[in-house]
Amino acid sequence: MTALTPITPEVLARAKWAFSTRRVRRKDAVRLNENLAEAASGDLVLGRVERIGSHKKIQLAEGRASELYIGDLVVLACGDRYAPDQFEGLAELDPEGADMLAGGGVLGRMRHRHARMSAPTRVVPLGLLTHGSGKVINLASYALHKAERPQGMTVIGVVGASMNSGKTTAVARLAHGLSRAGYEVAAIKATGTGAFGDFNAFVDAGAAYVADFTDAGMVSTYRQPLARIEAGLVYMHGRFYYHAWNLLYLG
């Protein structure tokens, strides 16, 4: 049987909670599960920064960047990442140290990195955060409620073959232009890695509703079943049903 260690609210209050965790009710976290072998994508991890590498800041749940220091406590989500010009890694945790794969709060094991990237910031996982029942806290438990895809809603899809191909810019410009023209617009990011850059860009552009795959319970869509990604997009469509007639999504 896995041993669980109580954790105080004071410890969690000192920790820097990443953007990927923004939907989680922090008061739900009351224990630590130190069995990291059980970690799965989306599980919340309390860790301590051991070495500052490529990511020198963490994107906070509050929507701003915070400088990282050795010894900082952080709450990240275990996850996979595929970013050709940064890191590729898996949702695996080593008790000796794990890799910060994304500033938005993705922790795992780096497999590959771009030649121009320095080594990732290292975080020592102290344990998986759990509910009082001992169940590990996962982003999926805080996802949007299931909703049916609305009928008659205009959808504009923006897709690209790689990162940094202009998808975010295109969606932001469309959202801004349509909003200025009097339409109520939602901007939804369907795939990628949890981070606040695109999210904030869509808010700044004037979108009436902004959501991404983390709202559907995924820290990253890399290596997730296609059916789950599609379902998440449908849920986000449905969420906006009652007050939107034009929908943009970023794929």
* β-bridge mates for residue 90, sequence order: 109
Per-residue pLDDT for 248 more than 70? no
224 secondary structure, DSSP code: -
| Residue 149 within any structural domain of the chain | no
Residue with tokens 């860009």: 201
Banded model confidence at residue 246, pLDDT cuts 50, 70, 90: very low
Q: Cα–Cα distances in Å, from 235 out to 223, 230, 251?
A: 20, 9, 15
- Distance (Å, whole) CA 72 – CA 131: 23
Domain CATH for 229: 3.40.50.300
| Residue 101 within any structural domain of the chain | yes
Number of domains in the chain: 2
Q: What is the mean pLDDT of residues 10-28?
A: 97
| pTM of the shown model | 0.92
Task: Check whether residue 110 and residue 189 sit in a common domain.
Answer: no
| Residue 223 within any structural domain of the chain | yes
Tens of pLDDT, residues 43-102: 999 999 999 999 999 999 999 999 999 999 999 999 999 998 899 999 999 999 999 999
Domain region containing 163: 154-250
Task: Check whether residue 23 and residue 109 sit in a common domain.
Answer: yes
Tens of pLDDT, residues 169-220: 999 999 999 999 999 899 999 999 999 999 999 999 999 999 999 999 999 9
Task: Check whether residue 170 and residue 225 sit in a common domain.
Answer: yes
The answer to whether 122 and 97 are in contact (CB under 8 A) is yes
Task: Check whether residue 138 and residue 159 sit in a common domain.
Answer: no
Task: Check whether residue 120 and residue 21 sit in a common domain.
Answer: yes
